[in-house]
Amino acid sequence: MKFMKSIRTVTAVAALCLAATTVAQAENYKIAFIARAQADSFAAWLANGIMDEVKKYPDMTVDVMDAQADDAKENAFIENAVANKYDLIIVQPNNGEAQRPYVEQAVKDGVKVITTNARIKDIPGSSSVDADPYEQAAVNARLALTQIPQGANVVVLNGPSGNMHADMRRDAWQKEFFDKRTDVKIVGEQIAHWNKEEAMRFMEDWVQANDKIDAVVSMNDNMAAGALEVVKDDPKFEKMLAYGVDGTAEAMLLIQSGKMTSTALQNAYDLAAKNISVAHDLLTGKITQIDTDIDCPLVTKDNVAQFIEIHKKSGAIK
Amino acid sequence: MNNLMTREKWQTIKSRYSIYLVLIAMIIVCNLLSPNFLSARNLSNISTQISVTTILAFGETILIIGGLLDLSCGSVLALAGVLSVYVFKETGSLSLAFAVGLIVGVLCNFVNGILVRRFNIPAFIATLAMMTVARGIALLFTKGQNIYQIGDYVWFGQGSIGFVPIPVIFMIIIGILTWYILGHTSFGRSLYAVGGNEEAARASGINVGRIKVGAYLINGVFVGLAGIILMARTNVGAPNSGQGYEFEALTAAIIGGTSFSGGLGTAGGTLAGAFIVGFLNNIMNLAGVDSYLQQVIKGAIIALAVGYDMWAKVNRTRKTLGAAKLPNERKEAKA
């Protein structure tokens, strides 16, 4: 009798331990966020946002890995995350096509995958959270249709060739603006690799070669800010228009001061929040697959004040 | 007889100052291609644009002459720059911020020097490690974010004295300092000796280790200064700035005739090398040359300029040796 009682007690304790372990396992989802490059300020902003956001979910933890803008490193991180049994991987691709086979393999191995900024399209079983790069540029281009004067001279600053966001933003400007405004002349167009200093060098040369530059069309804010830095004290360019994308703290301040015309906000906090919320829904079985975008609101002098608060929150603007 | 003398003089000038002849040829061609090229504002722009990489190139020149190298200068520049900007934002003191920039540059390069001297780590490896460490610290410190609203700090990169921009003034000062160190100090002479033949230099009583650390310390001052100028010029403390600058600096030094085998190089040559690259970038932008084509042309012209410089030097050596054949020619003759 005593023996049977002991057996029952041991069995009950074991069952309790097993149940506790199962619950603990179910409530501790491991997520790997593979960032494109922590040296890229947007990627760092996104990584910081993800780390902040995940604190709201006690059943999830995130490890951030830095691929240092290297395809081989990024692919190795994806493989390692699968091998280390992460429940979900968020991939911010360095080069979507280079990461595609590794993401496909991760999905085949049963790991949930979200691709973000930019999404890798058409991988069955994977999800994606992104901002539409075409629309980000298009909202600016549509505004420019009415703002850039007839017969204007414009300069164009592009992102790295082959980068999906760079190419789609340029495509949007072509279709939404340049194809419709054939009176506008592009007097300079170069790749400045998202880089402010490089954009400054180009702008300094263009200012020499052209008496009149009416507008700067830039595929990101950093390069637009570089172009504006060059002409900031030159009354000849006082009325020059400048368009960017991203909504960086610097762009917000430039818009507020009337030096920059507009940008489209790509809010890393929104992107982070949506990634983490989608990750939670995927892990808890609420959804099995989703492709979703965050909004890309146009920021002009009229509404910049509300967006500056985002950067005050991050500490970038005091 | 007179004709012969004149021809010989011309040959000497041609071989000794070949890189400057390339530079003059470039100025003439660029002026023909663009009427704006020789305008005061354009020349001022080019000088400002090349100032950061030229200051780095002066540091590389000193190191390469001593048989060393610095692959970390782009990252150390970013670290020195962001820390300097941070100190300015916290204290409002330009002089303190300036000092911090220089100190960070010197400290990082002191570590480079110690790694090379004490642990006999090849300069390539030691500075490669520092490149990663310095960039990592800059990113950790800033959490990967830029530091904005840097106020009066921009004076270091955007101010001017009279019509001369501050970065250009710094570049000239560092150029003169490099010229003086290399040509008019015992340290400079020892550096050439160490780079030319380290064992012979040691045998002749030169403290090789001290010379190497000294070269890194001087480079540290230059790198720190370059970091301050770059952040001020772009009006932002950017931890990801300066990527690839080590190669631009090396390019300017090598085009300027600094020999990778050590023991050869001048400040004037490096300055000429930096201007050749600067003129090339400028004229291609003024002429609206396509981005991809620019890379092809740049590579080809750099190869041509260095090729011409090397050919002129071989000619000078041949003249010095008289009828004697150069080693590779002797091998060919035997074959």
Give residue limits of the domains in chain B. Answer: 38-312
CA R_g for chain A:
24
Alpha carbon B126 to its chain's center: 19
Residue pointed to by tokens 């560092």: B174
Same domain assignment for residues A32 and A80: yes
CA distance A204 to A188: 11
Q: What is the mean pLDDT of residues A249-262?
A: 95
Q: Is the pLDDT of residue A130 over 80?
A: yes
pLDDT, residue B320, reads 66
- Residue of chain A minimizing CA distance to B136: A39
User: Which residue among B36, B145, B239 sits closest to A209, beta carbon to beta carbon?
Assistant: B36
Q: Rounded to the nearest 10 degrees, how much is the dihedral formed by the CA atoms of B7, B11, B17, B21?
A: 70
Q: What is the mean pLDDT of residues A147-161?
A: 94
Q: Is the pLDDT of residue B7 over 80?
A: no
Residue pointed to by tokens 């003249």: B319
Torsions phi, psi of A37, nearest 5?
A: -165, 120
Burial of B47 (0-12, 13-18, 19+ CB in 10 A): buried
Same domain assignment for residues A228 and A247: yes
User: Which residue among A38, A190, A205 sits closest to B282, beta carbon to beta carbon?
Assistant: A205
Output the domain CATH number for residue A192. 3.40.50.2300
Whether A187 and chain B come into contact, CB under 8 Å, resolves to: yes
CA–CA distances in Å: residue B8 to residues A232, B2, B11, B314, B326? 53, 10, 5, 16, 20
Q: What is the mean pLDDT of residues B25-48?
A: 88
Contacts of B285 in chain A (CB under 8 A): 188, 190, 201-202, 205-206, 209
Whether A40 and chain B come into contact, CB under 8 Å, resolves to: yes
In this structure, which topology does domain B38-312 adopt according to CATH? ABC transporter involved in vitamin B12 uptake, BtuC (1.10.3470)
Whether B334 and chain A come into contact, CB under 8 Å, resolves to: no
Q: Is the pLDDT of residue A160 over 90?
A: no
List the 183-242 stretch of B: residues with Cβ below 8 A of A: 230, 233-236, 238-241
Burial of B79 (0-12, 13-18, 19+ CB in 10 A): buried
CA distance B208 to B194: 7
| Domain of A249, in residue numbers | 133-264
- The candidate with the shortest Cα–Cα distance to B298, out of B34, B306, A300, is B306
CA–CA distances in Å: residue A298 to residues A60, A71, A221, A222, A305? 33, 32, 13, 17, 13
Residue pointed to by tokens 């770059």: B230
Poorest-confidence range of A5-9, A78-82, B279-283? A5-9
Q: What is the mean pLDDT of residues B160-179?
A: 95
Angle, CA A140 vertex, CA A139 and CA A146 arms, to 5°: 105
- Residue of chain B minimizing CA distance to A187: B288
* Per-residue confidence band for B224, with pLDDT thresholds at 50, 70 and 90: very high
pLDDT, residue B335, reads 45
- The candidate with the shortest Cα–Cα distance to B221, out of B54, B50, B56, B51, is B56
Burial of B28 (0-12, 13-18, 19+ CB in 10 A): exposed
Question: Token pair of A84, please?
Answer: 């280390």
| Mean pLDDT, chain A, whole residue set | 89
How many domains does chain A contain in total?
2
CA distance A246 to A222: 9
- The candidate with the shortest Cα–Cα distance to B111, out of B195, B187, B213, B228, is B213
Neighbours of A225 (CB within 10 A): 28
Same domain assignment for residues A194 and A228: yes
For the question of an ipTM over 0.90, the answer is: no
The verdict on residue A309 lying in a domain is no
Torsions phi, psi of A259, nearest 5?
A: -85, -30
- Residue of chain A minimizing CA distance to B284: A205
For the four alpha carbons of B232, B234, B237 and B239, in that order, the dihedral sign comes to negative
Q: Is the pLDDT of residue B85 over 90?
A: yes
Contacts of B30 in chain A (CB under 8 A): none
To the nearest whole angstrom, how far is the Cα of A286 from the nearest Cα of chain B?
34
Q: Is the pLDDT of residue B313 over 50?
A: yes
User: Which residue among B49, B143, B291 sits closest to A44, beta carbon to beta carbon?
Assistant: B143
Q: For chain A, how far is it from start to end, CA to CA, in angstroms?
A: 74
Reduce the DSSP state of residue B153 to 3 states and report it: helix
pLDDT, residue A290, reads 95
The verdict on residue A15 lying in a domain is no
Whether A314 and chain B come into contact, CB under 8 Å, resolves to: yes
pLDDT, residue B312, reads 72
pLDDT, residue B292, reads 82
CA distance B269 to A105: 54
The verdict on residue A215 lying in a domain is yes
The verdict on residue A303 lying in a domain is no
User: Which residue among A158, A197, A249 sits closest to B234, beta carbon to beta carbon?
Assistant: A197
| Binary contact (B145, A250; C-beta < 8 A) | no
Q: How many residues does chain B have?
A: 335
Neighbours of A135 (CB within 10 A): 18
A–B interface: beta-carbon pairs under 8 A: 90
Same domain assignment for residues A122 and A138: no
Whether A68 and chain B come into contact, CB under 8 Å, resolves to: no
Contacts of A252 in chain B (CB under 8 A): none
To the nearest whole angstrom, how far is the Cα of B165 from the nearest Cα of chain A?
13
CA distance A184 to A217: 12
Whether B39 and chain A come into contact, CB under 8 Å, resolves to: yes
Q: Residue A93 corresponds to which amino acid?
A: P
Residue pointed to by tokens 């692919």: A75
User: By percentage, how much of chain B surpasses pLDDT 90?
Assistant: 61
pLDDT tens readout for residues B105-148: 999 999 999 999 999 999 999 999 999 999 999 999 988 888 98
Q: Is the pLDDT of residue B263 over 70?
A: yes
Q: What is the mean pLDDT of residues A6-27?
A: 54
* Per-residue confidence band for A108, with pLDDT thresholds at 50, 70 and 90: very high
* Per-residue confidence band for A14, with pLDDT thresholds at 50, 70 and 90: low
Whether B311 and chain A come into contact, CB under 8 Å, resolves to: no
The verdict on residue A6 lying in a domain is no
Task: Tell me if B161 sits within 8 A of A60, measured CB to CB.
Answer: no
Same domain assignment for residues A126 and A193: no
Poorest-confidence range of A20-29, A40-49, B1-10, B179-188? A20-29
Angle, CA B234 vertex, CA A44 and CA A137 arms, to 5°: 60
Contacts of A253 in chain B (CB under 8 A): 148-149
The verdict on residue A219 lying in a domain is yes
Q: Is the pLDDT of residue B205 over 50?
A: yes
CA–CA distances in Å: residue B304 to residues A149, B179, B298? 45, 26, 10
Whether B160 and chain A come into contact, CB under 8 Å, resolves to: no
**Can you give the pTM of this predicted structure?**
0.80
Question: Token pair of A86, please?
Answer: 């992460």
- Residue of chain B minimizing CA distance to A318: B149
Contacts of A188 in chain B (CB under 8 A): 285, 288
**3-state SS string for chain A:** CHHHHHHHHHHHHHHHHHHHHHHHHHCCEEEEEEECCCCCHHHHHHHHHHHHHHCCCCCEEEEEEECCCCHHHHHHHHHHHHHCCCCEEEECCCCHHHHHHHHHHHHHCCCEEEEECCCCCCCCCCEEEEECHHHHHHHHHHHHHHHCCCCCEEEEEECCCCCHHHHHHHHHHHHHHHCCCCCCEEEEEEECCCCHHHHHHHHHHHHHHCCCCCEEEECCHHHHHHHHHHHCCCHHHCCCEEECCECCHHHHHHHHCCCCCEEEECCHHHHHHHHHHHHHHHHCCCCCCCEEEECCCEECCCCHHHHHHHHHHHCCCC
| Binary contact (B288, A188; C-beta < 8 A) | yes
CA distance B248 to A72: 25
Task: Tell me if A247 sits within 8 A of A270, measured CB to CB.
Answer: no
Tell me whether strands A153-158 and A185-191 are parallel, antiparallel or unpaired: parallel
Tell which of A36, A208, A254 to mutate to test the B interface (max B CBs under 10 Å): A208
Contacts of A246 in chain B (CB under 8 A): none
Q: What is the mean pLDDT of residues A272-278?
A: 95
- Residue of chain B minimizing CA distance to A206: B286
pLDDT, residue A5, reads 61
| Binary contact (B42, A208; C-beta < 8 A) | yes
Tell which of B31, B145, B150, B292 to mutate to test the A interface (max A CBs under 10 Å): B145
DSSP assigned state of B17: T
The verdict on residue A16 lying in a domain is no
Same domain assignment for residues A141 and A238: yes
- Residue of chain A minimizing CA distance to B230: A197
User: Which residue among B49, B230, B288 sits closest to A204, beta carbon to beta carbon?
Assistant: B49
Whether B47 and chain A come into contact, CB under 8 Å, resolves to: no
* Per-residue confidence band for B284, with pLDDT thresholds at 50, 70 and 90: confident
Whether B107 and chain A come into contact, CB under 8 Å, resolves to: no
Q: What are the residues facing A91 on neighbouring strands?
A: A34, A115
Same domain assignment for residues A242 and A142: yes
Q: What are the residues facing A294 on neighbouring strands?
A: A131
How many separate helices (H) and strands (E) can be counted in chain B?
A: 15, 2
The verdict on residue A51 lying in a domain is yes
- The candidate with the shortest Cα–Cα distance to B56, out of B34, B26, B78, B36, is B78
Reduce the DSSP state of residue B159 to 3 states and report it: coil
pLDDT, residue A15, reads 56
Cis preceding linkage at A118, omega within 30: yes
Same domain assignment for residues A56 and A110: yes
Whether A221 and chain B come into contact, CB under 8 Å, resolves to: no
Tell which of B82, B131, B235 to mutate to test the A interface (max A CBs under 10 Å): B235
User: Which residue among A202, A229, A248 sits closest to B234, beta carbon to beta carbon?
Assistant: A229
To the nearest whole angstrom, how far is the Cα of B139 from the nearest Cα of chain A?
7
Reduce the DSSP state of residue B144 to 3 states and report it: coil
